[in-house]
Amino acid sequence: MRLNKYLAKAGIASRREADNLIRMATTTVNGEIVLNPAYDVKQDDEIRYDSTVINPASESVVVMFNKPKGVISSMKDTHGRKTVLDYISSKYRLVPVGRLDKNSTGLLLLTNDGDLHHYLTHPKNQICRDYEVVIESRLSSQQVKMMAQGLSIGRGEYGKADVLSQRTKKGRTVAVLRLRQGKNREIRRIFKRLKIRLFSLHRFSFATLDLGKLKEGEYRALLPHETQQIRQ
């Protein structure tokens, strides 16, 4: 097995991303730094990434998690805050597919499959992500158009979102948005640009998946046919 594929199967990164990581001297074989992604890993080789021994997973695992508010979407936190891995028990090294910020809730996928992770997060694949947001006022037709066309959200980036529906609830607006890019804090930056106060943000759908009856703080492994659907 090539070294880049070994890293991908260990959930480190996609094979393409692993090429770059290996060339950055992050990976050792039997204590020696190897810079060649095509290195042929032998059965008895000890592979370390960032000084930690890694092993390829025997199976591809994808987990759906209903993230509560206040939980960090990372593998560890230097400030001692709860992370998604505090809720999930697995013998495999699972990596979040994208992020939900600390104050956002809802559907978050985790996987040990580096190639699948790359496919689901790469902007060119236009994977749909649906959110329910609560905001202070109804979006005007002009604002809806601006969001669909894309508007500057800083750092040289443009945020885009399709407004699928709007309704009024207790004096506030509940809107359903669809994103296809997954930029960092994209929805929050869009509403900041529009000067509209955002009260809550909840992701309920990712690709062909939805939370269903999965309760907050709970997780489940995807069924084989569900995993196959999100690969297409």
Domain membership of residue 133 as a residue range: 128-206
Do 105 and 132 belong to one domain?
no
| CATH number for the domain harbouring residue 156 | 3.30.70.1560
Do 76 and 144 belong to one domain?
no
Tell me the average pLDDT across 91-114: 91
pLDDT over threshold 80, residue 58: no
pLDDT over threshold 90, residue 193: yes
Do 147 and 199 belong to one domain?
yes
> Which is higher by pLDDT, 77 or 203?
203
> What is the total count of domains within the chain?
3
Asked if residues 107 and 64 have their Cβ atoms less than 8 Å apart, the reply is yes
Asked if residues 210 and 204 have their Cβ atoms less than 8 Å apart, the reply is yes
Separation between Cα atoms, residue 74 and residue 25, nearest integer Å:
23
DSSP string, 14-32: -HHHHHHHHHTT-EEETTE
| CATH number for the domain harbouring residue 84 | 3.30.70.580
Do 201 and 214 belong to one domain?
no
Quick one: CA dihedral 135, 138, 143, 145, positive or negative? positive
Do 104 and 218 belong to one domain?
yes
Do 200 and 224 belong to one domain?
no
Residues near 216 by beta carbon (within 8 Å), at least 6 away in sequence: 66, 67, 68, 105
Do 117 and 151 belong to one domain?
no
Token pair for residue 136? 């202070």
Quick one: CA dihedral 199, 160, 62, 232, positive or negative? positive
pLDDT over threshold 90, residue 32: yes
Identify the band that residue 91 occupies on the pLDDT scale cut at 50, 70 and 90. Answer: confident
Active site residue 101: yes
Q: Considering 16, 32, 53, which residue would you say is the last residue of a domain?
A: 53
Do 113 and 133 belong to one domain?
no
Residues near 83 by beta carbon (within 8 Å), at least 6 away in sequence: 71, 72, 73, 74, 75, 76, 77
Tell me the average pLDDT across 140-155: 95
State if pTM tops 0.85. Answer: no
Do 44 and 96 belong to one domain?
no
- Return the pLDDT at 76: 78
Calculated CA dihedral for residues 157, 162, 119, 229, nearest 10 degrees:
170
Identify the band that residue 217 occupies on the pLDDT scale cut at 50, 70 and 90. Answer: very high
pLDDT over threshold 90, residue 36: yes
Do 113 and 146 belong to one domain?
no
Average pLDDT value over all residues in the chain: 93
Do 12 and 39 belong to one domain?
yes
Do 144 and 199 belong to one domain?
yes
Which of 101, 113, 115, 162 is catalytic? The answer is: 101
Separation between Cα atoms, residue 155 and residue 146, nearest integer Å:
18
Residues near 181 by beta carbon (within 8 Å), at least 6 away in sequence: 123, 159, 160
